[in-house]
Amino acid sequence: MSDLGKQVRTEIGGHLRRLRASLGWTLTDVAEKASIDGIPISASTISRVERGLTAIPAEAMSGLCRSLGTSLSYVEEIVRTASTREQIDLSDRDDRSLLAEGRSRAQAGDVRGALVLLAAAHDWLLMQDELADGDERLAEVLTWESTCYRRLHSFTMALNTAGRILNMPGVSGDAKLHAISLHVEIGYITGDFYRASIFARHARDLLDTVQTRTRARAEMALGMLEFEQDRFESAIPWLEAAKALYLELGLEIEVARGLVTLGYCHHRLGRPSGGRQLIRKGCASAEKHGFEEVLAYALRMEGSLLADLGQLSAAEQLLGRSADIARRLTLSTQEFSAWFALYEAARREKQDDLVRRLGRRLTRLLRRVTHQVPEVQKFLAIEAPTQTSRRRIS
């Protein structure tokens, strides 16, 4: 076994062990949960995986990840992060230097590099015996770590990290609102609207006490919570307010994201022409500034708009391009969402060949995405009866 193989297994095992510990589970607990999820694996095998002493097949690793509330795509990110760590100089640096570069990399889309630096900043702070503003500095590191985990769709790690901020005495309102906003975001992403709504109430109470950037993120989260529940009229004021603040801050990437979401709201409210103009404006900004993640989102929204209007051929081009960008960025959930939007449109239009082709593609993607996402759950609900029917026929 090569040194690289050892390093990768150690990185993966260490992260799975920390995730299990954050849940308060024993090895036996994980083995039982995996068994319920259809993955027969012993506690001793899990222990060896955690220590980096053995590798297991991709299908078993995918199931083990799901049992721990994460996805195989996140584990694959760990592999990439292991190689990224070798390229970043961490020596003789304090938390402020590491956080500044980590924050910069996260904003530029280099989530793997950001997590390497943020983990080093976290470790540096934990080794300090007494630091006057240590809690506030640690809260800022945890804020960015949780945001990076959310972007990787490692929701359990993101929520546990944000939860640590909420349990820290004396941290600022900004740190608390960031953590609360993250709970709202993950709630609407996973379709847990009840939980998201509880945190949304707390978010609204803190809006007038925080800095502009923190407020912008919270208002965007509140708008997206309305958007994901198809309450488009209610979403627009929050999204407009967030967009105005991001314009003031000069954060073009968030302005572009806001334009796209506002555009789809207007489309769903019966204003498709104006909606598409806003989406295209956001798309043009994303393309101009090189915001590929937002570009993939914009193309997916415009493709969904065209699919709603019955323009399946044009929708297929845009959604296919969105999925290609997401795949290149290793954003498996976004890739799944793009293909699923086309899959739903093809089902509505009774394009059976396209439905079958997309169904196979989505099935292959299942092992790379978290099953908490509503699009995945919808697909599984559609395909499970179909697969049963096919088996009976055969």
**Residue 305 pLDDT level (bands cut at 50, 70, 90):** very high
Q: In angstroms, rounded to a whole number, what is the distance separating the alpha carbons of residues 111 and 107?
A: 8
Q: Is residue 370 part of a domain?
A: yes
Q: Is residue 301 part of a domain?
A: yes
Q: Is residue 345 part of a domain?
A: yes
Question: Would you say residue 95 has pLDDT above 50?
Answer: yes
Over residues 59-81, the mean pLDDT reads 75
Looking at 250, 270, 292, the residue that finishes a domain is 250
Those residues with Cβ within 8 angstroms of residue 224's Cβ, 6 or more apart along the chain or in another chain: 185, 188, 235, 239, 261
The reply to whether the predicted model has a pTM over 0.85 is no
Residue 385 confidence (pLDDT): 55
Q: In angstroms, rounded to a whole number, what is the distance separating the alpha carbons of residues 175 and 84?
A: 28
E strand or H helix that includes residue 334: helix 332-348
Over residues 352-380, the mean pLDDT reads 90
Domain around 149: 88-171
Over residues 321-349, the mean pLDDT reads 92
Q: Name the residue with tokens 């993955």.
A: 39
Nearest to 140 by CA among 113, 159, 168: 168
Q: Is residue 293 part of a domain?
A: yes
Domain count, the chain: 4
Instruction: Identify whether residues 268 and 366 lie together within a single domain.
Output: yes
Q: Is residue 283 part of a domain?
A: yes
CATH number of the domain residue 320 falls in: 1.25.40.10
Of residues 218 and 77, more confidently modeled: 218
**CA 363 → CA 225, 291, 296, 353, distances in Å?**
28, 28, 21, 15
Instruction: Identify whether residues 108 and 166 lie together within a single domain.
Output: yes
pLDDT digits (tens, 9 = 90+) for 22-32: 778 899 999 99
Question: Would you say residue 366 has pLDDT above 50?
Answer: yes
Question: Would you say residue 201 has pLDDT above 90?
Answer: yes
Angle of the 212-228 helix axis to the 193-206 helix axis, nearest 10: 150
Nearest to 334 by CA among 325, 326, 342, 344: 326
Instruction: Identify whether residues 205 and 230 lie together within a single domain.
Output: yes
**CA 172 → CA 67, 125, 175, 206, 338, distances in Å?**
34, 18, 5, 11, 38
Looking at 250, 280, 308, the residue that finishes a domain is 250
Instruction: Identify whether residues 380 and 260 lie together within a single domain.
Output: yes
**Residue 390 pLDDT level (bands cut at 50, 70, 90):** very low
Q: In angstroms, rounded to a whole number, what is the distance separating the alpha carbons of residues 161 and 175?
A: 12
Q: In angstroms, rounded to a whole number, what is the distance separating the alpha carbons of residues 370 and 62?
A: 9
Instruction: Identify whether residues 265 and 392 lie together within a single domain.
Output: yes
Instruction: Identify whether residues 148 and 284 lie together within a single domain.
Output: no
Residue 60 confidence (pLDDT): 86
Q: Is 2 helix (H, G, I), strand (E, B) or coil?
A: coil
Instruction: Identify whether residues 287 and 390 lie together within a single domain.
Output: yes
Over residues 153-162, the mean pLDDT reads 84
**Residue 281 pLDDT level (bands cut at 50, 70, 90):** very high
